[in-house]
Amino acid sequence: MLHTINKIGVMTSGGDSPGMNAAVRSVVRACAFHNLECYGIYRGYEGMIDGDFVKMDARSVKGIINKGGTILKSARSKEFRTKEGRAKAYEQLKKAEIDAFVVIGGDGSFTGAMIFNQEYDFPVMGIPGTIDNDIFGTTHTLGYDTALNTVVEVIDKIRDTASSHNRLFFIEVMGRDVGHIALNVGIGAGAEEILIPEEDLGLDRLLDSLRRSKKTGKSSSIVIVAEGDKIGKNVFELKDYVDVNMSEYEVRVSVLGHMQRGGSPSCFDRVLASRMGVKAVESLITGKSNFMVGLKNDIIDLTPFDQAVKGKSKINMELLRVSDIMSI
């Protein structure tokens, strides 16, 4: 059915990421540009169920392009996963006369939007926002570039201690199921080894590599471990393993945690967010629905939600080879 779009809702959902505010700003201003009303939906699907909406205009989003986190707050809603929760959300949207919504979030948030669209034929559009970059249909998710820069800066600082004390550092970075952050910061910060879920290096190869680097005169080393690495040991167990098997190393562990998700977005993320917000609104206006906006070969394009959700974002295998060569 063709829908007339007069009022668009916008929300952030799932884990926050730098650039979400810039995307909210873009959606709100694109609506103002096209003479549409825009409503901010607080706390993702939780706020949708509660009818926690606020009317926004171009000035409501001033001064937020440079802010990390999300002014609309975020949540992971259990209730929206139920039919009853979605029915409540639909009633609230109808009551507020909202005709469509844009959800900025990850694949869980898109799955919710897709089911909602199927049940109520409600126009929806997604913008990928997560530092993990684990979404099919875009080479970059919002916040990923900022997180890379944040993490590289921190590893540079840890390197000062590693080299001053001739230590081996295991540094755990985020990436629940994927190694995008680990692989890129590993190369960017000159790591000795990079452990990612997509490739099981194995403990023997790790020890071999560390032995080799000692032999070739390296006095300190940094190993980057993606949170979701499948080597079978967490980062503290890795330390224990090396302690037992290579007593010549003094080993330390650093788990970077949520600091990777915060901070002011990079210029790249701000521009990407601005482009994606405009595309999301203009796609809804032209009658499109059930798509995720993404970046492909520097073009902002649409991917159907079911593909975005089912597809796997792939790591660049060439980076693994480059990393091997660089750590000689």
Active site residues: 132
The three-class DSSP label of residue 263 is coil
d(CA 218, CA 43): 49
Min separation Cβ 261 and ligand F6P, Å: 6
- Measured from the CB atom, the residue of 174 and 302 that comes closer to ligand F6P is 174
Min separation Cβ 241 and ligand F6P, Å: 23
Residue 209 DSSP one-character state: H
d(CA 210, CA 83): 53
Min separation Cβ 151 and ligand F6P, Å: 12
Q: Number of C-alpha atoms within 13 angstroms, CB side, residue 56?
A: 28
Q: At what angle do helices 83-95 and 107-120 cross, to 10 degrees?
A: 70
What are the distances in angstroms from CA 269 to CA 101, 295, 328? 22, 11, 33
Q: Which residue has the tokens 């490739």?
A: 199
- Measured from the CB atom, the residue of 174 and 280 that comes closer to ligand F6P is 174
**Is residue 232 packed enough to be buried (19+ CB in 10 Å), middle (13-18) or exposed (0-12)?**
exposed
Min separation Cβ 272 and ligand F6P, Å: 17
- Measured from the CB atom, the residue of 12 and 220 that comes closer to ligand F6P is 12
* Residue of 71, 66, 77, 56 whose CA lies nearest to 13: 77
> In which element (H, E) is residue 103 found?
strand 100-105
d(CA 195, CA 226): 6
Q: Taking the CB of residue 190, how many other CB atoms lie within 10 A of it?
A: 16
Min separation Cβ 228 and ligand F6P, Å: 7
Residues near ligand F6P (CB under 6 A): 15, 130-132, 174-176, 227, 261
Residue 238 DSSP one-character state: H
Min separation Cβ 121 and ligand F6P, Å: 31
**Cα Dmax for the chain:** 70
- By beta carbon distance, the residue nearest ligand F6P is 15
- Measured from the CB atom, the residue of 73 and 261 that comes closer to ligand F6P is 261
d(CA 24, CA 70): 8
